[in-house]
């Protein structure tokens, strides 16, 4: 099994990360297919994610990454196959999955401070209203501190920068202690520095909270040091394994259905269409 | 129904229909439907004010319509969804309500300014309407090509030295003139139905500009003629028939193209 | 002060009733208006107002209290909107405008037929531009009850509405029935529009819906504060409008009085006019100014 490089300044001491067998995986997709308007968009998608695994859902734009995430969340019905979260097909408790959607367009006038958004993560899906309590405030403060957003906790969320909003949304998703965290293209529209910070933050949080993370992106490079495994989507199919196993010229050519070259330069990976 | 008195009605209404149809064609093409909502509000205030002062209502309509059009042009696209714009439009209606309520015949007047009143149009009233119509036709004819170019390909137009901003202002003024004619006939609240309905219906049926423009005018004429006949027979208000007929033609056009 | 509070203001029965109705209308519109603006559904509010015109005219025709007409038409339109989908899409503006045109045409018909039957002049005016001074006292309990119902609905749904406005997908993923919540909110909106229509007329009712709410959102960072400020602003505009309308009986032309709705609309706009934005974000380098210990 190929080893992944661990940046030593981030990782606390940890056992060898090969095949965590805590019984059935936390997230299992088995033969998932999706049809849109007569076209088979995704075919026979199967993979498993275990507790503590950090997986990148990588693929070109339009490959079906968002579609796949929506199927896992129960927002989209697959045409075949099943999704199991913690062994159960139909989620009783929606608390198990935390979701950070693609960049939201938030009006600067929206009367929500960063801490209000995080507070909605606790019980925003329930009717009625919650009474402020010291305990509640402490939870929210801690969640904000965990993502480094405490300095702008009282600012309007619509006035924050892209990276700041992303952190707030992550805090929102994590505060209810999910076991699986899904993020849809969190790195798009971020400047390079914010990109690196968010990736490092997610790696740290995943380890600390012992949750599984599935994050979609069209460029795998920012994630190379953090991913335990890659789920590569292209041409309606999926290949999964470690980056070294999956991202090869032969493997991806098979996936895409036409020739592609995988070029590695200075630790970076480029996927280039062939002749 | 075709007495000499009614002839004025037929002439005025037909002129209005053609102008509304042609102007509406450009409005739909350029996506200027906001102006078609906004101009009548100011026009209502202007007409009510003119009536209060004892001036011919048409002048109040024309002045406030053009003023409103220029105001919209100055505000620019971004301000369209602004709260201030929305409140200003409502303010115009409120002003109109004020003027109407302090004048002496306010019941009938509210009604006709908002829902139209074409019957009993005297010869003196027909003249300004037809005059405005001629002016509108001339303005459109002269600027037909720049109007088409800036509507379809704004960047290309700019590159060729045609100012989209000036053309937009020009067109808004034309729309204001068309509004001043249309509102006495169908009322401020229903101007949209006559100006935009037939044009949108025509647009749904054909993409060819010349055909769409002609069809737009034709549908508008049909709407107005049917409405006059039915209104004459039943004594029911013209606005009711115009609003309903406009919607019917629009729905038919949508359904016939959505196979 | 004498010119502001003309003689007999507070002794007048209709004025006291108007002030009371003003409370219900302003608070309901303010609270629901905040969510309307957040959800970007001011367009829906405007459309409901036009349909309310038809309803009010219809009620007038059959001899019912206008409020029932406003309410029935508003709720029916809200249900229809929910079924079709409220989002503002391309071409939807035109379609909605044309359909509303038909509704207004129907209003024209009902008003005409109604005035033929009952020979009451001025009915058009009161339905279109409001009649807060002529609301009979026995209608008041109904108005209050409707207002309370609408406010309660929105308050109970507030959290969920905020989450849904932030991201409908996140809300759905957390098990929220987004459609049902949207439908409940639209019905509360219909009630709010109907109440405003009674006070300042169907045609002008959007002023009380979006004006105070927009003012509140500029200055409030939290949802609760926004609702409170919107209600207070709307209430101020309504009450001052009522007082001025009463006073205007003494202004030219004498004995006639200017419409309440005119004053309310002017005050709402005045309340919104630009003021400087609240204090900018604290600079992240502020701490560096302090000298090290």
pLDDT at C12 over 90: no
Identify which of B28, B83, B239 has the shortest CB distance to residue C105: B239
Average pLDDT score over chain C: 84
CA distance A76 to A81: 13
CA distance B112 to B100: 11
pLDDT at C72 over 90: yes
Task: Give residue A185's pLDDT band: very low, low, confident or very high (50, 70, 90).
Answer: very high
A40 contact C CB<8A: no
CB distance B101–C269 less than 8 Å? no
CB distance C281–A151 less than 8 Å? no
The answer to whether C180 touches C13, Cβ cutoff 8 Å, is: no
* Per-residue model confidence (pLDDT) at position A56: 94
CB distance C269–B87 less than 8 Å? yes
pLDDT, tens digit (0-9, with 9 covering 90-100), for C141-162: 999 999 999 999 999 999 999 9
CA distance A190 to A197: 10
pLDDT, tens digit (0-9, with 9 covering 90-100), for A195-221: 889 999 999 888 888 899 999 999 999
* Pick from B239-243, C125-129, C224-228: least confident: C125-129
Question: What is the Cα B132 distance to its own chain's centre?
Answer: 12
Give the mean pLDDT of C68-85: 89
CB distance C112–B236 less than 8 Å? yes
Among residues 108-127 of chain B, which lie with CB inside 8 Å of chain C? 110-111, 114-116
Task: Give residue A13's pLDDT band: very low, low, confident or very high (50, 70, 90).
Answer: very low
In terms of Cα–Cα distance, which of A204, A195, A225, A227 is closest to A214?
A227
Task: Give residue A18's pLDDT band: very low, low, confident or very high (50, 70, 90).
Answer: very low
Using a CB-CB distance cutoff of 8 angstroms, which residues of chain C are in contact with residue A132? none
Backbone angles phi, psi at A97, to 5 degrees: -115, 130
CB distance C163–A74 less than 8 Å? no
pLDDT, tens digit (0-9, with 9 covering 90-100), for A117-130: 999 888 877 777 77
Average pLDDT score over chain A: 84
Identify which of B88, B97, B237 has the shortest CB distance to residue C112: B237
Average pLDDT score over chain B: 84
* Per-residue model confidence (pLDDT) at position C149: 96
Give the mean pLDDT of C53-69: 90
Closest Cα of chain A to C25: distance in Å?
Answer: 23
The answer to whether B213 touches B140, Cβ cutoff 8 Å, is: no
Task: Give residue B11's pLDDT band: very low, low, confident or very high (50, 70, 90).
Answer: confident
As a residue count, chain C comes to 293
Closest Cα of chain C to B200: distance in Å?
Answer: 7
CA distance A259 to A270: 14
* Per-residue model confidence (pLDDT) at position C286: 33
pLDDT at B104 over 90: no
* Per-residue model confidence (pLDDT) at position C138: 83
The answer to whether A179 touches A51, Cβ cutoff 8 Å, is: yes
Using a CB-CB distance cutoff of 8 angstroms, which residues of chain B are in contact with residue C201? 97
* Pick from A18-27, A142-151, A240-249, B213-222: least confident: A18-27
What is the value of ipTM here, to two decimals? 0.86
* Per-residue model confidence (pLDDT) at position A9: 40
* Per-residue model confidence (pLDDT) at position B8: 79
3-state helix, strand, coil in chain C (%, to 5): 75, 0, 25
CB distance C162–A120 less than 8 Å? yes
Using a CB-CB distance cutoff of 8 angstroms, which residues of chain A are in contact with residue C35? none
Q: Which helix (H) or strand (E) element contains residue A41?
A: strand A39-49
Residues paired with A58 in a beta bridge: A217, A232
Q: What is the DSSP code string of B195-226? A: HHHHHHHHHHH---HHHHHHHHHHHHHHHHHH
CB distance B86–C261 less than 8 Å? no
CA A226, A229, A231, A232 dihedral sign is: positive
C259 contact B CB<8A: yes
Q: In this complex, which chains have at least 3 CB pairs below 8 Å with chain B?
A: C
pLDDT, tens digit (0-9, with 9 covering 90-100), for B153-209: 777 787 777 788 888 888 999 999 899 888 888 888 888 999 999 999 998 888 788
* Per-residue model confidence (pLDDT) at position B106: 62
- B9 burial via Cβ count (<10 Å: 0-12, 13-18, 19+): buried
CB distance C221–A117 less than 8 Å? no
Percentage with pLDDT > 90 across chain C: 42
pLDDT, tens digit (0-9, with 9 covering 90-100), for B40-54: 988 989 988 888 888
B-to-C residue pairs, Cβ atoms closer than 8 angstroms: 155
Task: Give residue B141's pLDDT band: very low, low, confident or very high (50, 70, 90).
Answer: confident
Using a CB-CB distance cutoff of 8 angstroms, which residues of chain B are in contact with residue C29? none
Give the mean pLDDT of C116-135: 79
pLDDT at C274 over 70: no
Give the mean pLDDT of A166-191: 90
CA distance C60 to C63: 5
Higher pLDDT, C15 or C145: C145
* Per-residue model confidence (pLDDT) at position C288: 36
pLDDT at C174 over 90: no
Contacts within 8 Å (CB) and 24+ apart, B117-124:
B117/B184, B117/B185, B117/B187, B117/B238, B118/B9, B118/B12, B118/B13, B118/B184, B118/B185, B118/B186, B118/B228, B118/B238, B119/B9, B119/B231, B119/B232, B119/B238, B120/B5, B120/B9, B121/B8, B121/B9, B121/B12, B122/B8, B123/B8
| Candidate ranges A19-33, A119-133, B45-59, C218-232; pick with highest mean pLDDT | C218-232
Can you tell me whether residue C150 is helix, strand or coil? helix
CA B106-B111-B117 angle, to 5 degrees, is 120
Q: Please report, for residues A239, B195, C208, C233, C279, the alpha-carbon distance to residue C282 in angstroms, rounded to integers and kept in the order given.
A: 47, 52, 34, 29, 8
CA distance C211 to C220: 14
Higher pLDDT, B196 or B102: B196
* Per-residue model confidence (pLDDT) at position B206: 84
Among residues 70-109 of chain C, which lie with CB inside 8 Å of chain B? 93-95, 97-99, 101-106, 108-109
Percentage with pLDDT > 70 across chain C: 86
Closest Cα of chain C to B49: distance in Å?
Answer: 14
* Per-residue model confidence (pLDDT) at position A14: 41
Task: Give residue C68's pLDDT band: very low, low, confident or very high (50, 70, 90).
Answer: very high
* Pick from A32-41, A149-158, B2-11, B234-243: least confident: B2-11
| Candidate ranges A164-178, A261-275, C273-287; pick with highest mean pLDDT | A164-178
- A95 burial via Cβ count (<10 Å: 0-12, 13-18, 19+): middle
Interface test with C, best of A124, A154, A164, A181 (most C CBs within 10 A): A124
| Candidate ranges A60-74, C125-139, C148-162, C256-270; pick with highest mean pLDDT | C148-162
pTM recorded for the entire structure: 0.84
* Per-residue model confidence (pLDDT) at position B159: 79
Give the mean pLDDT of C68-79: 92
Task: Give residue C52's pLDDT band: very low, low, confident or very high (50, 70, 90).
Answer: very high
Interface test with C, best of B223, B230, B243 (most C CBs within 10 A): B243
Using a CB-CB distance cutoff of 8 angstroms, which residues of chain B are in contact with residue C261? 94, 97
Give the mean pLDDT of B70-93: 79
The answer to whether B65 touches B42, Cβ cutoff 8 Å, is: yes
């Amino acid at each position: 099994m190929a080893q992944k490089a661990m940046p030593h300044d981030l990782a606390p001491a940890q056992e060898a990360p090969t095949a965590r067998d805590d019984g059935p995986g936390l997230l299992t997709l088995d033969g998932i297919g999706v049809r849109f308007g007569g076209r088979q968009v995704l075919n026979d998608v199967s993979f498993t994610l275990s507790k503590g695994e950090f997986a990148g859902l990588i693929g070109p734009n339009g490959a079906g990454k968002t579609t796949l995430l929506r199927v896992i969340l129960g927002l989209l019905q697959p045409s075949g196959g099943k999704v199991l979260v913690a062994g159960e097909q139909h989620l009783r408790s929606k608390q198990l999955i935390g979701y950070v959607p693609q960049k939201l367009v938030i009006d600067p006038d929206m009367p929500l401070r960063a801490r209000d958004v995080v507070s909605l993560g606790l019980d925003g899906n329930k009717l009625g209203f919650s009474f402020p309590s010291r305990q509640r405030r402490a939870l929210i403060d801690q969640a904000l501190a965990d993502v480094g957003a405490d300095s702008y906790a009282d600012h309007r969320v619509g006035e924050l920068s892209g990276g700041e909003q992303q952190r707030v949304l992550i805090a929102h998703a994590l505060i209810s202690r999910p076991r699986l965290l899904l993020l849809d293209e969190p790195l798009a529209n971020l400047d390079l520095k914010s990109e690196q910070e968010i990736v490092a933050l997610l790696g740290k949080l995943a380890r600390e909270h012992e949750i599984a993370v599935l994050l979609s992106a069209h460029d795998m490079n920012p994630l190379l040091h953090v991913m335990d495994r890659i789920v590569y989507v292209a041409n309606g199919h999926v290949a999964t394994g470690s980056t070294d196993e999956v991202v090869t010229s032969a493997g991806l050519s098979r996936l895409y259905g036409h020739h592609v070259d995988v070029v590695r330069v200075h630790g970076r990976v480029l996927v280039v269409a062939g002749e | 129904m075709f007495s000499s008195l009614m002839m004025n009605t037929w002439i005025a209404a037909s002129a209005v229909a053609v102008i509304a149809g042609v102007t509406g064609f450009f409005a739909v093409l350029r996506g200027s439907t906001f102006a078609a909502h906004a101009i009548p509000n100011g026009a209502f205030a202007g007409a009510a004010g003119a009536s209060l002062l004892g001036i011919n209502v048409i002048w109040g309509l024309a002045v406030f319509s053009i003023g409103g059009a220029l105001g919209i042009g100055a505000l620019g696209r971004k301000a369209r969804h602004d709260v201030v714009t929305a409140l200003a439009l409502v303010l115009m209606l409120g002003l109109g309500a004020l003027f109407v309520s302090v004048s002496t015949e306010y019941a009938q007047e509210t009604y006709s300014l908002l829902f139209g009143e074409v019957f009993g149009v005297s010869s003196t009233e027909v003249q300004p309407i037809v005059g405005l119509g001629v002016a509108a036709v001339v303005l459109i004819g002269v600027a037909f090509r720049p109007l088409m170019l800036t509507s379809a390909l704004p960047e290309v137009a700019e590159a060729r030295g045609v100012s989209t901003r000036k053309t937009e202002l020009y067109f808004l003024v034309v729309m204001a003139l068309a509004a001043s004619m249309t509102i006495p006939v169908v009322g401020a609240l229903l101007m949209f139905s006559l100006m935009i309905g037939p044009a949108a219906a025509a647009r749904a049926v054909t993409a060819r500009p010349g055909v769409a423009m002609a069809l737009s005018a034709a549908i508008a004429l049909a709407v107005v003629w049917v409405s006059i006949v039915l209104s004459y027979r039943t004594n029911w208000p013209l606005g009711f028939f115009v609003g309903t007929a406009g919607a019917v033609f629009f729905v038919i056009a949508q359904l016939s193209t959505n196979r | 002060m004498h010119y502001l509070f003309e003689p007999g203001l507070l002794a007048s029965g209709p004025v006291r009733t108007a002030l009371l109705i003003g409370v219900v209308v302003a608070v309901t519109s303010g609270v629901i208006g905040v969510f309307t603006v957040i959800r970007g559904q001011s367009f829906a509010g405007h459309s409901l107002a036009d349909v309310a015109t038809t309803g009010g005219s219809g009620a007038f025709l059959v001899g019912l209290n206008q409020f029932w007409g406003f309410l029935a038409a508003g709720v029916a339109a809200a249900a229809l909107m929910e079924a079709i989908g409220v989002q503002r899409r391309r071409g939807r503006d035109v379609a909605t405008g044309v359909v509303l045109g038909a509704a207004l045409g129907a209003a024209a018909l009902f008003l005409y037929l109604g005035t033929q039957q009952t020979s009451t002049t001025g009915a058009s005016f009161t339905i279109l531009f409001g009649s807060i001074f002529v609301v009979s006292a026995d209608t008041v309990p109904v108005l209050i009850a409707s207002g309370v119902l609408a406010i309660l609905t929105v308050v109970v749904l507030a959290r969920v509405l905020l989450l849904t406005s932030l991201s409908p997908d996140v809300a759905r993923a957390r098990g929220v029935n987004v459609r049902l919540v949207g439908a409940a909110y639209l019905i509360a909106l219909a009630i709010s529009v109907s109440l405003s229509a009674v006070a300042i007329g169907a045609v002008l009712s959007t002023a009380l819906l979006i004006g105070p709410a927009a003012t509140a959102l500029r200055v409030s960072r939290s949802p609760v504060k926004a609702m409170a400020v919107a209600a207070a602003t709307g209430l101020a505009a309504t009450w001052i409008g009522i007082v001025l309308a009463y006073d205007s009986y003494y202004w030219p032309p004498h004995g006639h009085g200017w419409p309440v709705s005119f004053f309310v609309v002017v005050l709402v706009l005045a309340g919104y006019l630009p003021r400087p934005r609240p204090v900018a974000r604290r600079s992240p380098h502020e701490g560096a100014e302090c000298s090290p210990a």
